[in-house]
Structure 1
Amino acid sequence: MARTPFAPRVSLVTGGAAGIGRALAVEIGRRGSRVVIADIDAAAAERTAAELRADGLTVTARGVDVADAAAMDDLVREVVATEGRLDAMVNNAGILVNGPFEEFDDHHWRRALDVNLLGVVNGSRAVLAVMREQGSGTIINTGSLAGLMVSPRMLPYTVSKQAVVAFSRGLALEVAAQGIGVHVFCPAFVDTKLLDEPYDATTHAGDFRRYARTLQPRLTTSETVARRAIRGVEAGSTVIPVGLLAQALWRSDRFLPGLTDRGSRQACERQDRITHEGER
């Protein structure tokens, strides 16, 4: 398959202080892009930017809550005013919410949807006018394997990521004629602090990292995810399953949904056992 090299001049990466966001900033920066990393933890973003500058990349940092639409509008305007353009918008910021459905309160649902879904919507909306005027641009959204198949015991997260995939596919169709590409990459389990820091953990959330390793003993690194995500962008794919597990389960869910559901039910039972073992 022919590939178009991805070489944006100016890029903005949300959730860029650590994990996949940091790896994406590095991957894009190595391609010659000036990169702005934005994170709700402004101090962490600045530390990361300083580390990447020490490695020879052109990186600056900003603090932002992606759930705040006005703040995202302001951030994009600032980047364009400073850099003169914005070629790539990477909507990566996200949170993990896991546990049994009955333990989720309204604030679990609201924060998962505000950050994981509306953060993507806000970033995309903020940048579209800029990219239309340029006649080009790329929007890259961070999805998840949970966005490609039903994942129990993490329904706020699953619902938000399923919506990100649907949003990305729909927006890609809307803006393709304007020279704007939209992509969503969907990794399985990635070795980041997200596995250890679920948002406002519920009573029976359990050890999510241990659960992840029962399904995928060798967790994917952020660097591998970033490389494969950009490779998918270069191939022109709208939906980019990252890794063999994600690809296999995505295909299974599309063509053999009953089989995938049985596997998900067994995985749910396994997580219940892990949780109860940890409580004893």
Structure 2
Amino acid sequence: MWRQREPDPRRFAGRTAIVTGGGSGIGAALTRALAHAGANVVCTDVDEAAAKEVAEGLVSARGRVRAVALDVTDRDAVATVVDEVVTDAGRIDFMFNNAGIALGGNTELLGAEQWDSIIDINIRGVVHGVSAAYPHMIRQRSGHIVNTASMGGLTAAGLLTSYVMTKHAIVGLSLALRSEAAAHGVDVLALCPAAVETPLLDAGGVGGFTGRTYYLSGQGVRTPYSADRLAAEALVAIERGQPLLVVPWQARMAWRFARFAPGLMQKASTSFVAQQRERQHL
């Protein structure tokens, strides 16, 4: 049975954090974990009502939570939220670039607007968060940037091509920035979970694609990971200064297999895609 390790309160109590996409799923879980650890959290989401609901559920938490409407594709809006937090608190300790979407199905069915949408949210949304928060962290000589990537950012299989592309970009951004940011006392972590129990599992796609069927058929994962468990482990990973958090253990095994036997992994991915096409009648 999983037993949550409590984060060190000295690491989070009184610290300031921003979470994008905080109205549901992993973002909501991160907001809860941070607030219970004593951090003061700005929970942002394009759906302001959802962010407010998360914040209202945490009125008794050790840390304060404030809900803010934010579209991460709006660079100026992201910068404004970050600057306001720094003005009010004097600093920003944690920037969680979490907002994201998924689009599944045969790649040839994706239209230009769908490609633009997933690139704008999953890549540019993270870039906007980094661009807004990182200069402040350099000046204060401390801070932690946490980017929500995916197991899909470490391995690759078709029928989720646009999503995999964006998450590979986030892993690359995170690892590259981490090596540069260390000189400024700033740390970077990329979250790379396999299927997590969030609304994203049931997000639609093109051509009749079913996300839950796809996500729970790969990497040996049959049961979705708990978003709250992922959030708790993310805080521990922050404490440890990890570059990547890859969960669950089946995902770590698949990642290692892909690194040491890329040809075999590609064959396995090709077979997996064929099975999914048959199963989902794509």
Both proteins in one fold, TM over 0.5: yes
One-letter amino acid of the counterpart of residue 51, structure 1: G
Cα deviation, 1:156-196, whole Å, max 9, x if unaligned, reads 10100000000011111111110100110100011111011
One-letter amino acid of the counterpart of residue 271, structure 1: Q
SS in 2 for 1:219: coil
Matches within 5 A, 1:37-52: 37-52=43-58
Q: Which residue of 2 aligns with 1:240?
A: 245
2:36–2:61 CA contact under 8 A, matched in 1: no
Q: Flag structure 1 segments of 5+ consecutive residues without an equivalent.
A: none
Q: Which residue of 1 aligns with 2:206?
A: 202
Take 2:100 and 2:11, find their aligned partners in 1: how far apart are those partners? 24
SS in 2 for 1:11: strand
Q: Does 1:112 align with 2:115?
A: no
Q: Which residue of 1 aligns with 2:137?
A: 131
Cα deviation, 1:61-118, whole Å, max 9, x if unaligned, reads 1011111111111111112222232100000000011111110111111111111111
Take 1:83 and 1:70, find their aligned partners in 2: how far apart are those partners? 20
SS in 2 for 1:52: coil
SS in 2 for 1:53: coil
With the length of structure 1 as denominator, give the TM-score of the two structures.
0.92
Q: Which residue of 1 aligns with 2:232?
A: 227
SS in 2 for 1:214: coil
1:229–1:242 CA contact under 8 A, matched in 2: no
Deviation at 1:54, TM superposition (A): 4.4
Take 2:95 and 2:116, find their aligned partners in 1: how far apart are those partners? 24
Take 1:48 and 1:237, find their aligned partners in 2: how far apart are those partners? 27
Moved more, 206-215 or 90-99: 206-215
SS in 1 for 2:57: helix
Deviation at 1:238, TM superposition (A): 1.0
1:16–1:93 CA contact under 8 A, matched in 2: yes
One-letter amino acid of the counterpart of residue 236, structure 1: G
Matches within 5 A, 1:167-178: 167-178=173-184
Q: Which residue of 2 aligns with 1:63?
A: 69
Take 2:159 and 2:28, find their aligned partners in 1: how far apart are those partners? 28
Deviation at 1:6, TM superposition (A): 3.7
Matches within 5 A, 1:1-280: 6-7=11-12, 9-55=15-61, 57-198=63-204, 201-204=205-208, 206-215=209-218, 216-276=221-281
With the length of structure 2 as denominator, give the TM-score of the two structures.
0.92
The RMSD of aligned alpha carbons is 1.7
Cα deviation, 1:223-245, whole Å, max 9, x if unaligned, reads 11112222222222212212112
1:39–1:65 CA contact under 8 A, matched in 2: yes
